A and B are shown apart, each in its own frame.
Chain A
């Protein structure tokens, strides 16, 4: 029997956690679809943004899984169009952030989004190492992670010759300090989980 709108109390539902950790009230969404109607990325998504919230509203593992495994959460650009217009002021981009992080934590991120995940990881790694983004380094790591090696060969040389692509990481940031911030953020998150 599928138990719609039911969740075991041992594991709080994603909606409940979002309410608590993300300060987004999933129940406030009344499924008007205005977010989806204005979303620039809806075309790339397998589940419409409003439907992602609907899946969470059921508070059933089956539907929560579908949300976590969706491509949509990786296709959201974070442009904030939806929350700007939502009549119920539901912070959908924040919910998307939460779902992405949860999908990674559970290791269920959609494989079609590997490249997107790789990009964000490469970006943050670059920042963690240097305190600031080293674009060429980041692109390099991204390409290693995804194998999309030749994709941007077309523009890279132009960028280089126009002085837009530095060959060396920028100095200036306090690398130590930033690395510490990353480390402590991990610790604080771990703490709040227990």
Chain B
């Protein structure tokens, strides 16, 4: 037995000037189930709301319809009022007789008739409203940050400084990412390690940050506020607690000729090694593929000589499972390998290098101590050619997008070169200079105007070697496409920024979307740039798209604020507009037949398979179950289900069809 009250708002003249509100009120009173109907000048005003509350009590109403403006405007207001009046807020509906009626139609009988119809729809709907409670989900206030580049470091520090514990998981033996390899950074030319190292140390010392280096995420289950992360700690073969980072092992290890990853192969390292002197943690790792002991069973020199007896040849990978409430993805990027450039020699010329190698050559902490020496013979190159857009904006190479950072770092490289080699000449082949940031274009102009870097507009077609020099065949399109041939001592390719090799796999592990180039996709390109479509998983840095450091840091702090905001709530409450699969007493259990069409249709992976078991644990039936933490209430599943076993609260089949039946 419904007792519905209908409240018709005049909205001053806004509604009453066009719609005959008295007629609507009268019509409402005739609708089955309506026991009370009034019209009033301003329903949203204090007296209006008080009137609604009082009526609920006095008339013992169990549902109300407010015919006024758009629900997108005042639905929360009237639902709160209804709750104060003593009914469930979800038993209050609004009929939009302003935006959808009085404001868009002429005054007259037809418009009033429409208003009456709109009221009738909502009366039919409200009669079938069930009391709903907002969904409350607990939150584990601990964050997982994946990737320890500048993005991950910044996000971890910001979240920890806001008071929540963080697990920082880094794949390689040290945090720092690409930034730790950089020499100086645009647009200020400050030394990269000088600004990064203190942050790395801060991460290591922060009481709320637990660092997992040389570790990977194996699995992520659960949903926002309630994830379960499975982390694999790969065996370093070192007891980290005992090791004091003295470095004796790497000095004494007989295997010495392994190309050093940190120096981009420009120097060598041992089989047991700390990636670079400022590494965090400053603990070595044994490279199993190259250690003599693991290859032949003989050696163990490191074990014998380690003063703290920290070497553990029998150490195994460890698996840990942690509860976390939010995840920040900060796994960064890679650059296109130089052997992708067939026209520039497939990477076979030693003096055709990429930007990252140049960073190591230019770095004071690099293999040459910052002196410009070319890799082939250590000579100082007198003419260096830089090739911008190497692989970027190149459909043929599968990268049609602009890599965004290379115009700037190429200008930086050319400038650093001119500073280091007096009398040398840097020439940059470019297509456009994209320097759209604060002080960026000024930086590029400085390279040209003050440091004498020559910019030639055009792409290079081929690089080959002749008499120990590199011949660069390019073109100057500003001279009417005149071919230009330069004999250079070194060529630097500004190689395209690409997603990490394992990005697709990781995206699938985390159920986040990715673009055609395997960069992780943001929830909205403009308004939700640090969120993914999966609630509780956020993005920072170059794993989303090519980014420089300022942008990376800004985005990391943005992601951290989203996490902190989430963690500041006592628990998650969400509108209960979600799907549910019906449950029936045995032996039916549910009308669901387990076809899982709904599961395939759901854009949020919110539908799970649930086994209904008897006391012996035998599976009696497999049915669908909606995870309320993941469901966003789109209703796609409902229209997919043939047995109507799944329904959407607040927009149920019963309600929608009742509206339709009253047309």
A contact set with B: CB distance below 8 Å: 30-39, 42-43, 48-51, 81, 85-89
The contact of B397 among A32, A49, A87, by CB within 8 Å, is: A87
The contact of A30 among B396, B431, B480, by CB within 8 Å, is: B431
CB distance from B431 to the nearest CB of A (A): 5
B308: A residues at CB distance < 8 A:
none
A38: B residues at CB distance < 8 A:
343, 461-462, 473
Give the distance in Å from the alpha carbon of A100 to the alpha carbon of B653 in the complex: 68
Question: B361-404: contact bitstring with A at CB < 8 Å (1 yes, 0 no)?
Answer: 00000000000000000000000000000000111110000000
Count how many pairs of residues, one from A and one from B, have CB atoms less than 8 Å apart in the complex.
Answer: 70
**CB atoms of A36 and B431 under 8 A apart:** no
Give 6 pairs: A residue, B residue, CB < 8 Å, sorted on A.
Answer: A30-B393, A31-B477, A50-B481, A85-B461, A87-B459, A89-B395
**CB atoms of B458 and A32 under 8 A apart:** yes
**CB atoms of B475 and A51 under 8 A apart:** no
A50: B residues at CB distance < 8 A:
475, 477, 481
Give the distance in Å from the alpha carbon of A86 to the alpha carbon of B475 in the complex: 13
Give the distance in Å from the alpha carbon of A37 to the alpha carbon of B458 in the complex: 8
Give the distance in Å from the alpha carbon of A89 to the alpha carbon of B398 in the complex: 11
CB distance from A181 to the nearest CB of B (A): 35
Give the distance in Å from the alpha carbon of A81 to the alpha carbon of B482 in the complex: 17
**CB atoms of A32 and B480 under 8 A apart:** no
**CB atoms of A87 and B394 under 8 A apart:** yes
Residues in B85-119 with C-beta less than 8 Å from chain A: none
Please, which residue of chain B has its CB at the minimum distance from the CB of A81?
A: B461
The contact of B475 among A36, A81, A88, A89, by CB within 8 Å, is: A36
**CB atoms of B477 and A87 under 8 A apart:** no
Give the distance in Å from the alpha carbon of A49 to the alpha carbon of B481 in the complex: 8
Question: Do A37 and B474 contact each other (CB < 8 Å), given the known contacts A42-B483, A85-B461?
Answer: yes
Question: B458-492: contact bitstring with A at CB < 8 Å (1 yes, 0 no)?
Answer: 11111000000000011111001111100000000
Among B431, B461, B462, B481, which residue has the most Cβ atoms of chain A within 10 A?
B481
Question: Do A34 and B459 contact each other (CB < 8 Å), given the known contacts A48-B480, A48-B482, A50-B481?
Answer: yes
Please, which residue of chain B has its CB at the minimum distance from the CB of A51?
A: B481
Taking A33-B474, A51-B481, A87-B397 as given, write out 8 further A-B residue pairs in contact, using a Cβ cutoff of 8 Å, ordered by the A residue number: A32-B458, A36-B481, A37-B459, A37-B483, A38-B461, A85-B343, A87-B393, A87-B396
B459: A residues at CB distance < 8 A:
32-34, 37, 87
CB distance from A159 to the nearest CB of B (A): 34
B457: A residues at CB distance < 8 A:
33
CB distance from A119 to the nearest CB of B (A): 26
The contact of B462 among A32, A37, A49, A87, by CB within 8 Å, is: A37
A39: B residues at CB distance < 8 A:
483
Residues in B480-517 with C-beta less than 8 Å from chain A: 480-484
Among B343, B475, B482, B483, which residue has the most Cβ atoms of chain A within 10 A?
B475
Give the distance in Å from the alpha carbon of A36 to the alpha carbon of B478 in the complex: 13
Among A32, A37, A48, A51, which residue has the most Cβ atoms of chain B within 10 A?
A37
Residues in B604-630 with C-beta less than 8 Å from chain A: none
**CB atoms of A36 and B483 under 8 A apart:** yes
The contact of B396 among A42, A49, A89, by CB within 8 Å, is: A89
**CB atoms of B397 and A34 under 8 A apart:** no
**CB atoms of B460 and A87 under 8 A apart:** no
A32: B residues at CB distance < 8 A:
431, 458-459, 477
A49: B residues at CB distance < 8 A:
481
A43: B residues at CB distance < 8 A:
483
Among A38, A39, A49, A87, which residue has the most Cβ atoms of chain B within 10 A?
A87
Across the A-B interface, give the 3 residue pairs with the lowest CB-CB distance, nearest first.
A38-B461, A48-B481, A37-B461
A48: B residues at CB distance < 8 A:
475, 480-483
CB distance from B457 to the nearest CB of A (A): 8
Question: Do A33 and B393 contact each other (CB < 8 Å), given the known contacts A38-B461, A42-B483?
Answer: no
CB distance from B517 to the nearest CB of A (A): 16
Give the distance in Å from the alpha carbon of A36 to the alpha carbon of B485 in the complex: 12
Give the distance in Å from the alpha carbon of A43 to the alpha carbon of B482 in the complex: 9
Give the distance in Å from the alpha carbon of A7 to the alpha carbon of B343 in the complex: 38
The contact of A34 among B395, B461, B476, B480, by CB within 8 Å, is: B461
**CB atoms of B473 and A33 under 8 A apart:** no
CB distance from B324 to the nearest CB of A (A): 43
B473: A residues at CB distance < 8 A:
37-38
Give the distance in Å from the alpha carbon of A86 to the alpha carbon of B395 in the complex: 9
Give the distance in Å from the alpha carbon of A115 to the alpha carbon of B457 in the complex: 35
B476: A residues at CB distance < 8 A:
33
**CB atoms of B461 and A35 under 8 A apart:** yes
B477: A residues at CB distance < 8 A:
31-33, 50
CB distance from B291 to the nearest CB of A (A): 43
Give the distance in Å from the alpha carbon of A35 to the alpha carbon of B483 in the complex: 10
Give the distance in Å from the alpha carbon of A34 to the alpha carbon of B396 in the complex: 13
**CB atoms of B481 and A34 under 8 A apart:** no
CB distance from A154 to the nearest CB of B (A): 31
The contact of B484 among A37, A86, A88, by CB within 8 Å, is: A37
Question: Do A37 and B395 contact each other (CB < 8 Å), given the known contacts A85-B343, A87-B459?
Answer: no
Please, which residue of chain B has its CB at the minimum distance from the CB of A32?
A: B459
Give the distance in Å from the alpha carbon of A33 to the alpha carbon of B481 in the complex: 6
B394: A residues at CB distance < 8 A:
87
Among B394, B431, B461, B483, which residue has the most Cβ atoms of chain A within 10 A?
B461
A34: B residues at CB distance < 8 A:
458-461, 475
**CB atoms of A37 and B480 under 8 A apart:** no
Give the distance in Å from the alpha carbon of A85 to the alpha carbon of B460 in the complex: 10
Please, which residue of chain B has its CB at the minimum distance from the CB of A31?
A: B477
A31: B residues at CB distance < 8 A:
477
Please, which residue of chain A has its CB at the minimum distance from the CB of B472?
A: A37
Give the distance in Å from the alpha carbon of A62 to the alpha carbon of B396 in the complex: 32
**CB atoms of A87 and B395 under 8 A apart:** yes
Give the distance in Å from the alpha carbon of A87 to the alpha carbon of B402 in the complex: 13
Give the distance in Å from the alpha carbon of A81 to the alpha carbon of B483 in the complex: 15
Please, which residue of chain A has its CB at the minimum distance from the CB of B482?
A: A48
Give the distance in Å from the alpha carbon of A51 to the alpha carbon of B458 in the complex: 12
The contact of A33 among B343, B397, B458, by CB within 8 Å, is: B458
Give the distance in Å from the alpha carbon of A89 to the alpha carbon of B396 in the complex: 6
Give the distance in Å from the alpha carbon of A31 to the alpha carbon of B459 in the complex: 9
CB distance from B397 to the nearest CB of A (A): 7
Give the distance in Å from the alpha carbon of A103 to the alpha carbon of B395 in the complex: 31
Residues in B24-44 with C-beta less than 8 Å from chain A: none
Please, which residue of chain A has its CB at the minimum distance from the CB of B392?
A: A87
Give the distance in Å from the alpha carbon of A50 to the alpha carbon of B476 in the complex: 11
CB distance from B394 to the nearest CB of A (A): 4
Give the distance in Å from the alpha carbon of A90 to the alpha carbon of B395 in the complex: 10
A42: B residues at CB distance < 8 A:
483
Give the distance in Å from the alpha carbon of A20 to the alpha carbon of B396 in the complex: 22
**CB atoms of A86 and B482 under 8 A apart:** no
Question: Do A33 and B396 contact each other (CB < 8 Å), given the known contacts A48-B482, A50-B481?
Answer: no
Question: Do A37 and B396 contact each other (CB < 8 Å), given the known contacts A31-B477, A48-B481?
Answer: no
Question: B396-429: contact bitstring with A at CB < 8 Å (1 yes, 0 no)?
Answer: 1100000000000000000000000000000000
B474: A residues at CB distance < 8 A:
33, 37
Give the distance in Å from the alpha carbon of A42 to the alpha carbon of B479 in the complex: 14
B484: A residues at CB distance < 8 A:
37
**CB atoms of B480 and A51 under 8 A apart:** yes
Among A31, A38, A42, which residue has the most Cβ atoms of chain B within 10 A?
A38
Give the distance in Å from the alpha carbon of A51 to the alpha carbon of B477 in the complex: 9
**CB atoms of A37 and B431 under 8 A apart:** no
Please, which residue of chain A has its CB at the minimum distance from the CB of B431?
A: A32
CB distance from B475 to the nearest CB of A (A): 4
Give the distance in Å from the alpha carbon of A172 to the alpha carbon of B538 in the complex: 73
B395: A residues at CB distance < 8 A:
87-89
Please, which residue of chain B has its CB at the minimum distance from the CB of A88?
A: B395
Residues in B302-330 with C-beta less than 8 Å from chain A: none
Question: B435-472: contact bitstring with A at CB < 8 Å (1 yes, 0 no)?
Answer: 00000000000000000000001111110000000000
